Amino acid sequence: MIGKLKGTLDSYGEDFVIVDVQGVGYLVHCSARTLQALPTQGEAVTLAIETHVREDQIRLFGFLSDVEREWFRLLQTVQGVGTKVALAILSTLKPADLASAIATRDKAMVARAPGVGPKVAERIVTELKDKAPAYAAVDPAVIRLSGALEERRAPQPVADAVSALVNLGYGQPQAAAAIAAAARSAGEGAEAAVLIRLGLKELGR
């Protein structure tokens, strides 16, 4: 199996590049985000590779980092997500943003990718939620709060405060992060009005 390619960027296609490695041209499929970040033709390039072998073909998928490749693999463990959808998601979201979206259960963010409907987005955030925090630079308190809100276990003042911020036009992850910070500074048992005020201060920073 090919795990890495280091060579010269020979040419670009719509969703692939050809990498020349000592005279052999490898056709490598990439996300739009990866394609945009690659150097110009004739320059040196190194790609992390995922090799897919079928009876009738061998396909190579290239990534700028091992983390991006790992997300490509993880996404395909979800029913309804194949290589095309996984690449579409990685074209739309950076790995860190994808991790944060899954960790905070932001289905709308995942559904921004072409070909990802609400049901698939729901499956992605549900099935990968335990794996995402390892890749996300997200405050664990925000992940816990998002989980509590999702399962309706959050204290009523906290749930009311998040709901109030969402009604003001903030996204659920933003609201959850602000209220998690507000709850930390206000302490347990704080009323919704106090949390909303502190949450708005956080968002205004």
Where do the domains of the chain lie?
4-63, 66-134, 140-203
What's the Cα-to-Cα distance from 30 to each of 148, 171, 177, rounded to whole Å? 37, 30, 33
**Phi, psi torsion values for 61, nearest 5 degrees:** -120, 130
What's the Cα-to-Cα distance from 202 to each of 118, 137, 165, 174, rounded to whole Å? 30, 18, 12, 10
The CATH number assigned to the domain with range 66-134 reads: 1.10.150.20
pLDDT of residue 132: 61
| pTM greater than the 0.85 cutoff | no
pLDDT of residue 18: 95
Condensed to tens digits (0 to 9), the pLDDT of residues 92-150 reads 998 878 887 887 778 888 999 998 998 999 999 888 877 665 554 445 555 455 555 45
Extract the residue ranges of the chain whose pLDDT is less than 50: 136-138, 143, 149, 151
Q: Does domain 4-63 have CATH number 2.40.50.140?
A: yes
Residue 76's Cβ-side half-sphere holds a number of Cα atoms within 13 Å equal to 13
Residue with tokens 């690659």: 38
Q: Which two tokens stand for residue 101?
A: 């979206």
pLDDT of residue 151: 47
pLDDT of residue 156: 81
pLDDT of residue 153: 60
Radius of gyration of the chain (CA): 21
pLDDT of residue 184: 77
Distance CA 13, CA 30 (A): 10
